[in-house]
Amino acid sequence: MTNVKFGLLSGLIILLLSGTIYASAYARELAIIANKDYPSDSISATTVKDIYLGEKTSERGIKIKPMEQRDEEIKSRFIERVLGSSMDGYKAYWIKKFFQEGVMPPAVKGTPSEVLTVISQTKGAVGYIWIDDVKKDSGVKVLLKIEVGN
Amino acid sequence: MIAQIVSLLALIFVAGLPCVYAFEFKGFADVSFTKSTKDADAHRNGDFAFGSLDLYVAEVVEDVEILIETLIEEGDELDIERLTIGYTFNDAAKLRMGRFHTPLGFWNTAYHHGVQLQPTIERPKFLTFDDAGGILPTHVVGVNLLGRVNTRAGAVDYSAMLGNGPMIDLGKAVLTPNNTSDNNIGKSAAFNVSISPSVIAGLKLGVSGHIAEVTSNDDPVTIDVDQTIYALSAVYTKGPLGMAAEYFRIEDKSKSAGDFTNTAYYGLIKYSIKEKWEPYLMYEKLSVGDDDPYMSVLQAGIDNKEMTLGLRYNISYRSSLKGEYRNIIDEGGKDWDEVALQWALAF
């Protein structure tokens, strides 16, 4: 009886562990990307947050131009996991920020390829994209990779 | 009235120009209902009121920033509330010139005239706008340098300004920021510094100061005050909990009547439930120095104690309904109650 209990318990632990490993193996990753001329090769999650909340607008003399995705899935994942806000909270924040200070909210772009194209052609441009959509010849550099769950 | 309509139509026309620098108007609007137990108080006797229509544009034109905020109050008064032209050198240095909100305390520059943004239906009485009989110079025309510096201790926001000093318009019994010229040689200066300490996320502590020579617009001048204002503010937001408190000390040195000290403060606590429901409680108090000539001509310049208990319901992130019960005690200990409802919208 004890052996049966032990076996069941071991099986359960293995199942849980394998589930965790499976989940982390397949957790989706966002890439924070920037124009090739962006004056830094890496960025912290805190700085990304500051950029998308309009608190950081320049880097070593270059004006930062953040880009937003129109696709709701990636946008909500970015806002919730990276910025730590709800979608409505984020929208309300930008109403207030724009009204208070006249700081422009991030420009919205339609498709991942459009985001890549605009960022590759715009000095100071920063954006986010699924890591799978970043190609070697896309003319952007990856500053940070962030896991955002499944 | 015709001139105001023409101005508004011109603004709308400019906003609609199909060119590369076409401006997009955004705005706020609100309607309210207020019932007071105080006798014959205008707009509060069980009345519906069109509160305000706030229209604003902000744009960057060849790296130069422009912000215009216009307000139509009480159905027919069109005012330019803010008009600034500016340039951002970097996050630590932004220059603005024009008419803006005086960097005093927290509330005055956080919510401006955007009623939907503020937690309560009305501002605390002592923060009433200058053109509505308020005691503080809430608007100023001048130059403003502001920015943010990140330090090890936390983010430090600063704002410093130099502008025309306010004037008391005795005809209207209001403070005016002297939009086009100063009525005396004394300029007003103000600063506001706040820190968001790294060790306590969500906390922001601020200190402000303002000096000005304030004179009345009669001849000979009957009110001439050297005024110093000090303000402290503390704001804390942690998840659904929000708290704010401000303390003001207004020192008036009158050349003819002597020195006076006035103090004011409010404390506010609110709690958000699923970003939809938000009960809140605010207490405010203004203590006015006896016979202060500056305070005596301004509508809000009387002792006042007020307790506000309210509930806000966010229909969406753009629209909210607020319901309030207020208990008010003013000079002489007169005590009355008010209930108010407001529907506010950001568009």
- Judged by average pLDDT, the poorest of B50-64, B143-157, B199-213 is B50-64
CB contacts < 8 A (A, B): 53
**pLDDT, position A24:** 47
Chain B residue at shortest CA distance from A59: B90
Contact by Cβ (8 Å): A13, A6 = no
Contact by Cβ (8 Å): B346, B40 = no
In 3D space, the residue among B188, B224, B231 whose CA is nearest the CA of residue B206 turns out to be: B231
Mean pLDDT of B326-334: 87
- A150 inside 8 A of chain B by CB: no
Contact by Cβ (8 Å): B125, B133 = no
Tokens 């310049």 identify what position? B301
**pLDDT, position B183:** 82
Q: Which amino acid is at B303?
A: D
Chain-chain contact of B112 with A98 (C-beta, under 8 angstroms): no
In 3D space, the residue among A60, A53, A147, A28 whose CA is nearest the CA of residue A104 turns out to be: A53
**pLDDT, position A6:** 61
Chain-chain contact of A55 with B112 (C-beta, under 8 angstroms): no
For residue B84, how many other CB atoms are within 10 A of its CB?
Answer: 21
pLDDT in tens, A63-96: 999 999 999 999 999 999 999 999 999 999 999 9
Quote the pTM value: 0.87
- A60 inside 8 A of chain B by CB: no
Chain-chain contact of B317 with A98 (C-beta, under 8 angstroms): no
Provide, as residue numbers in chain A, all residues whose Cβ is less than 8 Å from the Cβ of B275.
Answer: 86, 88-89
Cis peptide before B220 (omega within 30 of 0): yes
- A108 inside 8 A of chain B by CB: no
pLDDT in tens, A110-134: 888 899 999 999 999 999 999 999 9
Contact by Cβ (8 Å): A139, A120 = yes
Chain-chain contact of B316 with A89 (C-beta, under 8 angstroms): no
Alpha-carbon distance of A92 to A68, in angstroms, equals 16
Alpha-carbon distance of B211 to B166, in angstroms, equals 10
Q: How far is B94 from chain A (nearest CA, A)?
A: 10
Alpha-carbon distance of B341 to B323, in angstroms, equals 4
Tokens 């509060």 identify what position? B44
Containing A146, the helix (H) or strand (E) segment is: strand A140-147
Mean pLDDT of B220-248: 96
**pLDDT, position A95:** 96
In 3D space, the residue among B265, B188, B255, B192 whose CA is nearest the CA of residue B228 turns out to be: B188
pLDDT at A20 over 60: no
Q: How far is A63 from chain B (nearest CA, A)?
A: 8
DSSP one-letter code for A79: I
Interface residue of A85, A88, A99 to substitute, partner B, most B CBs within 10 Å: A99
pLDDT in tens, B289-308: 999 999 999 999 999 999 99
pLDDT in tens, B276-288: 999 999 999 999 9
pLDDT at B156 over 70: yes
Containing B57, the helix (H) or strand (E) segment is: strand B45-61
pLDDT in tens, B169-200: 999 999 999 988 888 888 999 999 999 999 99
pLDDT at B222 over 50: yes
**pLDDT, position B11:** 57
Instruction: Determine whether B96 is exposed, middle or buried from the number of CB atoms within 10 Å of its CB (0-12, 13-18, 19+).
Output: buried
Measured CA distances, B208 to B18, B158, B161, B164, B214 (Å): 43, 10, 11, 18, 19
pLDDT in tens, B89-122: 999 999 999 999 999 999 999 998 999 999 999 9
Interface residue of B69, B85, B317 to substitute, partner A, most A CBs within 10 Å: B317
Alpha-carbon distance of B107 to B202, in angstroms, equals 16
B306: which strand partners?
Answer: B284, B328
Chain-chain contact of B148 with A91 (C-beta, under 8 angstroms): no
Contact by Cβ (8 Å): A31, A82 = no
Reported confidence tier of residue A46, pLDDT bands at 50, 70, 90: very high
Nearest by CB to residue A57, choosing from B69, B88, B112, is B88
Residues 6+ apart with CB under 8 A from A46: none
Provide, as residue numbers in chain A, all residues whose Cβ is less than 8 Å from the Cβ of B84.
Answer: 102
Contact by Cβ (8 Å): B32, B48 = yes
Query: What average pLDDT does chain A have?
Result: 86
**pLDDT, position B3:** 47
Q: How far is B13 from chain A (nearest CA, A)?
A: 21
Contact by Cβ (8 Å): B174, B194 = no
A32: which strand partners?
Answer: A128, A144
In 3D space, the residue among B345, B341, B347, B346 whose CA is nearest the CA of residue B120 turns out to be: B341
